[in-house]
Chains A and B, each alone.
Chain A
Amino acid sequence: MSIRVQIPSALRRHTAGIGHVECCASNLGELFSALDEKFPDLKPHLRDEAGQVRRFLNIYVNEEDIRFLGGPSYAFQDGDEVLLVPSIAGGCN
């Protein structure tokens, strides 16, 4: 599946400034692998040590939170637009 991924500016430091990228992936796991390959520096910013999506990273598919679509089990459709959006928290203990 060919999907288009939008990289937020906060992460572009790790993508040599690139804001959009076309990837071939059929699910979230494959998408992360494809991104790891293209942008090795990006990897630790998307998943934690246990391989889980980072807490403050939201992933949207065609404007819908991927968690409403089945999360890791969602099967990408050709032409899907994927947004990586940081969760803007205030932060406090």
Chain B
Amino acid sequence: MSTSYELRCRECGKLWGNQPRSICEDCFSPLEVTYDYDSLRARISREQIAQRPPNMWRYAELLPLPKDFHPSLPAGFTPLISAPHLGKQLGAKRLCIKNDAVCLPTLSFKDRVVAVALANARSFGFDTVACSSTGNLANAVAAQAARDGFKAWIFIPADLEPAKVLGTQVYGAKLVRIAGSYDQVNRLCSQIADEHRWGFVNVNLRPYYAEGSKTVGFEIAEQLGWRLPDNVVVPMAGGSLITKIKKAFDELITLDLVEKKQVKFFGAQATGCSPISTAVKAAQEEILPQRPSTIARSLAIGNPADGHYAIRAITRSGGWSEDVSDPEIVESIQLLAETEGIFTETAGGVTVGTARKLYRQGRIAPDETTVLCITGNGLKTTDALVGQYEAEEPIAPKITAFENFLQNALEVPAPLEASA
């Protein structure tokens, strides 16, 4: 199933073959993976893909996978569900949720990118993999490194949510907590990658890693019956995911797997860390870095590496970018849980809250098919909900005690009822 691919400079077009490298030494611009689409067109069809197991490897031809690669985990192919109840709240008639809160093995979309990165780490001969992370990537690298027999070094900002810290340590990874922001962790990792021969999934393996995000886009199209949606709403941290979903849609069009369509891309950020949405709203093409201050820590990247490309993907598509406050994030987490039974992390609250804003602004029309990308699981960020629900006093194990309790419960407003 392997295909021919290599690294190409995004800006000057120079080809670099396949190697652990993310920067063009000629012009200092990012490298990305390019494929031989002409030869692929004859080798890939909807029917073929449909016969394969339901995981992200069904799109192997469109991923940079070494010839001898055998997947060790069935990551991806998460549910795309219609969301009529949330839609009613938002004023949307055709709303869908791509639910990567249940992506395996670590409950975020980062499992996809890490799976592709580690496939390449192995072929480049690394025995140690590493990453800088706001949490979800840390979990994904730690778990898959354990599964695939790599040593793992994980670098995180010291103030990360406890569940994301524990969910890294449990796999036996070496965890380095940095007293600083993610942007500082990321900068440090660039320096470390210069000195140590490790496979940093989001530094020297980044071009390969980033390709894994495309599988979100492939799946959305296939699950809509090999059709592209009208709009997608995507949370943005470094800004890579939104550009890779666009690349996925473009590739499906190039390979005649879907009909051509102008999909609008909408970016979602937290107001406390909104360098991309700020630029889009001000019609700027460049990012002005920010110092993040938001509960959406998985999105707290003040100097997004792919920000420039994210801005371009959004504005050229006719889309838009918005941001929401911390209280709106919490409220939106609750709204999604109460309407569709999906418990997402703070980043998902950002996406739902932003979508609500976009519908209110009339930027997304109710009749259009719109997909919200939910990228992480709420069990990892329960601290965001502290104080939202009162702990009920226990009652005696007697029917009369329950009848009294019920009487009281029916008299109080809805939120308490939900927590009973």
Contact = CB atoms under 8 A, between A and B. Distances in A.
Interface stretch (B19-27, B254-262, B318-326, B332-340): B19-27
B313 interface: yes
B349 interface: no
Contacts of B246: 92-93
A16 interface: no
Contacts of B30: 56, 87-91
A86 B190 contact: yes
Given A55-B308, A65-B303, A93-B309, A10 B28 contact: yes
Interface string A1-29: 00000101111010000000000000000
A22 B129 CA distance: 33
Contact of B312 (A11, A65, A85, A93): A93
Q: How large is the interface on B (under 10, 10 to 19, 20 to 34, 35 or more residues)?
A: 35 or more
Contact of B23 (A10, A65, A68, A92): A10
B368 interface: no
Of the listed residues B28, B180, B313, B316, the one surrounded by the most CB atoms of chain A closer than 10 A to its CB is B28
B207 A56 contact: no
Given A54-B28, A56-B29, A87 B305 contact: yes
Contact of A88 (B206, B243, B312): B206
B234 to A, nearest CB: 13
Nearest to B26: A45
Contacts of B183: 65
Contacts of B243: 90-93
B10 to A, nearest CB: 4
B28 A92 contact: no
B289 A67 contact: yes
A44 B401 CA distance: 79
Contact of B306 (A8, A10, A83, A91): A91
Contacts of A60: 187
A88 B309 contact: no
A6 B210 CA distance: 28
A54 B24 CA distance: 13
Interface string A50-93: 00001111101001010110000000000000010111111111
Contacts of B303: 58, 65, 87
A88 B306 CA distance: 8
A88 to B, nearest CB: 5
Nearest to B194: A9
A91 B28 contact: no
Interface in B163-193: 180, 183-184, 186-187, 190-191
Nearest to B132: A88
Interface in B13-49: 22-23, 25, 27-32
A85 B28 contact: no
Interface string B283-324: 000101101000000000001011011001100100000000
B194 A90 contact: no
B202 interface: yes
Contacts of A55: 29, 286, 308
6 contacts: A13-B25, A86-B22, A87-B30, A87-B303, A90-B30, A90-B244
Interface of B: 10, 22-23, 25, 27-32, 180, 183-184, 186-187, 190-191, 194, 202-203, 206-207, 209-210, 213, 238, 240, 243-244, 246-247, 250, 286, 288-289, 291, 303, 305-306, 308-309, 312-313, 316
Interface of A: 6, 8-11, 13, 45, 54-58, 60, 63, 65, 67-68, 83, 85-93
The 8 closest A-B pairs by CB, nearest first: A90-B210, A91-B30, A91-B10, A92-B243, A89-B30, A91-B32, A89-B305, A90-B240
